[in-house]
Amino acid sequence: MDNRDAPLAGRGFLLLSLVILAAGLALAVYRLGEDSLWLDESYTWWFTRLDWGDLLRAARIDAVNPPLYYLFAKATAGQGRLLSEAALRFPSALAQVAGIAAAIFLGYQLAGQVGGVAAGALWAVHPLALWAARDARPYALAAAFAAGVAGAFFYLRRSSSMRASVLAGAGLALGLLTHYFFFVFVAALVLLAAANLRQSPSFFPGHMKPLPRQ
């Protein structure tokens, strides 16, 4: 058994992760519709009340936000032109749960099961994460993609996996389609990878083949 599995051997890690996810969702939806929509959230209301064709056309000409969040919000907020505040914010609460799961995965890659539990718990109760989870804007979704990609990045440091590489690439693409500032996170990962590759050419196991002998 891997040493990182020793502290919470058996089903303890899975059980704690499920408890953290459930608690995180409960915190995110608590009094979700109490406050009225603020200015930026009204844009989400406007986009989600459009039909799918009009939404795609409007998103294509929107120079402020990429389209993925609006598509996600329309698919998960429900239907109707009179959506409540809680319904419009519920997609972000779902993204918060995904972010907690991604944080658990990231924490596990960095510090084993204890690290996973600590990272997930911190994400579930952090004021900034909860603010994003209760806001009908793309921040919670973009953060979830960032945590998942970071977890895959550190996973690939330890072992070669085509599936993990594909998922990481998909997460990067989806993150860029969620918020334009996601490119800052991508740039940071590129710089980190370049620095580590310079220090250790075997930074990503299995991805570099030895040169043939002359």
Token duo for residue 197: 């590759």
Phi-psi region of 116 (alpha: psi -120 to 50; beta: other; left: phi over 0): alpha
Residue ranges covered by each domain of the chain:
10-199
What tokens appear for 63 in the block?
């120079």
**Residue 165: φ, ψ to 5°:** -65, -45
State how far the Cα of 103 lies from the Cα of 180, in Å rounded to an integer. 21
Crossing angle (nearest 10°) for helices 139-158 and 162-176: 160
Q: How many residues are present in the chain? A: 214
* pLDDT tens, the chain, 214 aa long: 455 555 566 688 999 999 999 999 999 999 999 999 999 999 999 999 899 999 989 988 877 789 999 999 999 987 666 689 999 999 999 999 999 999 999 999 999 999 999 999 999 999 999 999 999 999 999 999 999 999 999 998 888 889 889 999 999 999 999 998 999 999 998 888 888 776 665 555 544 444 444 4
3-state secondary structure of 98: helix
Give the integer Cα–Cα distance in Å for 133 and 153.
Answer: 24
The C-alpha atoms of residue 109 and residue 157 are separated, in whole angstroms, by: 9
Contact criterion met (CB below 8 Å) for 170 and 206: no
Please state the pTM of the whole predicted model: 0.86
